Amino acid sequence: MFLGLLCSLSSNSQPIGPYQLPDKQAFPVWDNLTDYQKVYHVSQNHPEATDQNPGTEALPFKTISRAAQVLEPGQKVIIHAGTYREQITPRSGGTSEAKMIGYESAAGEKVTVKGSKEIMVVWEPSLEPAGQPFSLKLWQCTLPDQLFDGEINPFETQNASPEDIDLMPWAHHWKGRIPYSLSRGLVFQNGRRMVELAIYEDLVHIPGSFWIDSTRDLLHVHPFEGVDPNLEQMEVTVYQHLFKPKEVGTSFIHLKGINFEHAGNGFPRVGVGAIFVNGGHHWIIQNNTVKHVNSVGIEIGARVNESSEATSAENERVRLHPGGFIVRNNYVYDCGTGGIEGHNVKNTLLEENTIEKIGWQDVERYWECAGVKLLVNENTLLIRNHIFDVEAASGIWLDWNNKNCRITRNIIHDIGPTFSGAVYVEASRIPNLVDNNVIWQVKGAGVTLNDTDQCNVVYNLIAKTDQPVVSKVNTDRSLNGIPLSSKNNQVSHNIFYQNRKLPLMESNENQFDRNFWASLNPEVKLEQWRKKGWGAQSQEIEMVIWLDHNNKDMTINHSKPLPKLNALDFPAEDFWGNPRNENTTAGPFDIKMSGGYQLSLTKPD
């Protein structure tokens, strides 16, 4: 018997009541309640556009930057179609949810903000550093100084300088090494990102690559398809940030419906996001696209820099920071180290974001890479995000002293290889929750709980991983003067499908039972697990699951009714937000009949 229910990630996905956090309290939801009293317009392509205009629809501004200098609380700017090559630096923020400042695209119009500029100089055949011809495949040009008017020249700034590494002692091994020592600059040929190389002579072997001769401000390229770059659109990044307020703490900003592309940012843990809130609070970042970024796409959180000499006033500002970020329905693509990151994140909602192709810098061993990496989190909720094609990075990583955070109803697939796992909760003692997620195809662990206590991993489908769950003490660190441990975690009501090894649970003070095991690797003997005292009430089931990577459809089929379990007291809803029966099945979908069903892992266009 087969039940064909074609569902989408958004179908029936609204919760029955308010979002709940692990303490069963409602997540502190807020929204933009501003009745905008004044609306400015920016229209690059309008024949009368100039920044000397009043910014009306009939006489619009030419640049978004001009609007960013005049907006006051309770006002917004409508941005009309065009490609705006600028770094937006707002002068002011709002004062409350009823007096926000808004930046949004005009309805139905495509607005692109690019941190790159076109190279308008003539390309010539490349000469190697000693001035001799090397290969007819290579070309060179001088990068004019007038291209660069931002805070930094990305081609003269290392991904992570020795001084940057000194502020990240966990990364000290990589000081002065590639790719940390490479530049932050990116080069694009007709919109395709090229790869930076460290050695000039290697260019000849890799089409679509570039090399910087920093001593002579020369850019050398080996174009894709061996074409003449004079006949192509060639762009270079000139800005690190695409949207960053001028002052620390600028708050109550709503950013909606804008495409952000081409950021030449670096590897330090804070202060580098293409969209960077710069220590503000209560931002709504919604319906935007952020892509082709050297490191981090969107950066939220209280911390704006890290320094061994941070002032007590700055530390107090961070401690009292209210958070309140809503990051919703954004598409984040092709970021070198991280999609969405942040340091000191409170009362924050990340929902329905699509994050893909993250981690191509391959620098996981400096421990700041993930589709989503949030550090020091409290009352933070990640729900219904779709994260995939992530390499050398986690899918979701909550790092250090996380309190009352929940990771639920996300779809995370094609992750790794990774040292840290698809979902990684690190160094925490206050209860956190990982529930009702689909985790599929991981070269690494499905869920990792390193140095973490009191994390519940329940109602998940964890499939095709090296190990479905890992809970262990990984370091000799302490939290609040007490050595970290990995105990009092609960792993229950999950489906483990075609995982290559058994879970690793170091401490007998963890609870691991009432899970379903399907299609075990023949080399994996469940009896070995039970001899250790785990899984007396767990069961093997017959189930076949398919995932269509192209259409993102999943089919679940089983010939026999699935065993029933007493439902957990919390959470009370399944993947779709529907209430569970008192007798439920394991996994994210409360399956009420035999047979199977089909679901789509992405929202319809």
**Rounded Cα distance, 126 and 136, in Å:** 8
What does 104-161 look like in DSSP terms, one character per residue?
EEPTT--EEEESEEE--SPPEE-B-TTS-B--TT-EEEE--GGG--SSS-GGGSBSS-
Average confidence (pLDDT) over 542-558: 83
- The per-residue b/e assignment along 329-346, b for 16 or more CB within 10 angstroms, e otherwise, is bbbbbbbbbbbbbbbbbb
Percent of the chain surpassing pLDDT 70: 95
Beta carbons within 8 Å of 260's beta carbon, 6+ residues apart = 112, 113, 115, 242, 243, 274, 275, 288, 289, 290, 291
The overall average pLDDT reported for the chain is 92
The torsion angles phi and psi of 504, rounded to 5 degrees, stand at: -120, 115
Residue 128: per-residue pLDDT: 94
Residue 295: per-residue pLDDT: 98
Tokens of 267: 């590897």
> Given a cut of 80, is residue 518 above it in pLDDT?
yes
Average confidence (pLDDT) over 102-123: 97
Residue 596: per-residue pLDDT: 67
What does 497-539 look like in DSSP terms, one character per residue?
ES-SS--EE--TTSEEES-EEES--TT--HHHHHHTT--TT-E
Q: Where are the domains of the chain?
A: 118-237
Q: Which helix (H) or strand (E) holds 312?
A: helix 312-320
Residue 8: per-residue pLDDT: 39
Lowest mean pLDDT across 14-28, 270-284, 394-408? 14-28
For the chain, what is the total number of helices (H) and then of strands (E)? 4, 51
Residue 309: per-residue pLDDT: 65
> Given a cut of 70, is residue 386 above it in pLDDT?
yes
In this prediction, residue 400 has a pLDDT band, given cuts at 50, 70 and 90, of: very high
12 vs 324, higher pLDDT: 324
Residue 5: per-residue pLDDT: 31
**Rounded Cα distance, 450 and 112, in Å:** 40
Average confidence (pLDDT) over 562-581: 92
In this prediction, residue 557 has a pLDDT band, given cuts at 50, 70 and 90, of: confident
> Given a cut of 80, is residue 2 above it in pLDDT?
no
Average confidence (pLDDT) over 530-554: 83
Question: Residues 68-96: pLDDT tens digits?
Answer: 999 999 999 999 999 999 999 999 999 99
Output the CA–CA distances (angstroms, integers) from residue 327 to 3, 31, 283, in the order listed: 35, 12, 8
> Given a cut of 90, is residue 487 above it in pLDDT?
yes
| SS3 readout for 173-200 | HHCCCCCCCCECCCEEECCEECEECCCH
Residue 190: per-residue pLDDT: 98
Residue 93: per-residue pLDDT: 98
Question: Residues 428-484: pLDDT tens digits?
Answer: 999 999 999 999 999 999 999 999 999 999 999 999 999 999 999 999 999 999 999
Residue 10: per-residue pLDDT: 37
Place of tokens 């969405």: 340
**Rounded Cα distance, 251 and 95, in Å:** 7
In this prediction, residue 359 has a pLDDT band, given cuts at 50, 70 and 90, of: very high
Contact 494, 459 (CB under 8 A): yes
Q: Is the CA virtual torsion 171, 173, 176, 177 positive or negative?
A: negative
What CATH number has the domain spanning 118-237? 2.60.40.1180
Residue 594: per-residue pLDDT: 56
In this prediction, residue 550 has a pLDDT band, given cuts at 50, 70 and 90, of: confident
Question: Residues 236-266: pLDDT tens digits?
Answer: 999 999 999 999 999 999 999 999 999 999 9
Residue 311: per-residue pLDDT: 82
217 vs 377, higher pLDDT: 377
> Given a cut of 50, is residue 137 above it in pLDDT?
yes
> Given a cut of 80, is residue 310 above it in pLDDT?
no
> Given a cut of 80, is residue 603 above it in pLDDT?
no
In this prediction, residue 214 has a pLDDT band, given cuts at 50, 70 and 90, of: confident
In this prediction, residue 593 has a pLDDT band, given cuts at 50, 70 and 90, of: low
Residue 326: per-residue pLDDT: 98
Cα Rg, the chain, nearest whole Å = 25
Beta carbons within 8 Å of 155's beta carbon, 6+ residues apart = 143, 183, 184, 185, 212, 214, 219, 236, 264
Average confidence (pLDDT) over 103-107: 98
> Given a cut of 80, is residue 532 above it in pLDDT?
no
Beta carbons within 8 Å of 247's beta carbon, 6+ residues apart = 91, 278
In this prediction, residue 308 has a pLDDT band, given cuts at 50, 70 and 90, of: low
Q: Determine if the peptide bond prior to 18 is cis (ω within 30°).
A: no
